[in-house]
Amino acid sequence: MDGDARDWPAGHRRPEGMSDETLAALGALSEALEKTIRARGHLYSFHQLTGEADFGLDEAVEALRKAGHEELADRIDSELIGRNVLPGRWTFKVVEDYDDQYYEPFVALEREARQQLAGGKRHLHEAQLKRKRATPGRSGHEMDAGELGG
Residue 67 lies in a domain: yes
**Beta pairing partners, 89:** 86
CA distance 132 to 93: 45
Residue 57 lies in a domain: yes
Residue 133 lies in a domain: no
Q: Tell me if 23 sits within 8 A of 114, measured CB to CB.
A: no
- Model confidence, pTM: 0.78
**Beta pairing partners, 86:** 89
pLDDT score for 1: 42
Using a 10 angstrom Cβ sphere, with 0-12 exposed, 13-18 middle and 19 or more buried, the burial of residue 133 is exposed
Q: What is the pLDDT of residues 102-149, one digit of tens each?
A: 999 999 999 999 999 998 888 888 887 887 888 888 888 787 755 544
Residue 51 lies in a domain: yes
Residue 87 lies in a domain: yes
Is residue 2's pLDDT more than 60? no
Number of domains in the chain: 1
Residue 130 lies in a domain: no
Contacts of 118 (CB under 8 A, 6+ apart): 14, 15, 18, 22, 26, 124
| Average pLDDT of the segment spanning 37-63 | 98
Q: Tell me if 12 sits within 8 A of 121, measured CB to CB.
A: yes
Tell me which residue range forms the domain holding 104: 40-122
Residue 140 lies in a domain: no
Q: What is the pLDDT of residues 66-110, one digit of tens each?
A: 999 999 999 999 999 999 999 999 999 999 999 999 999 999 999
Residue 25 lies in a domain: no
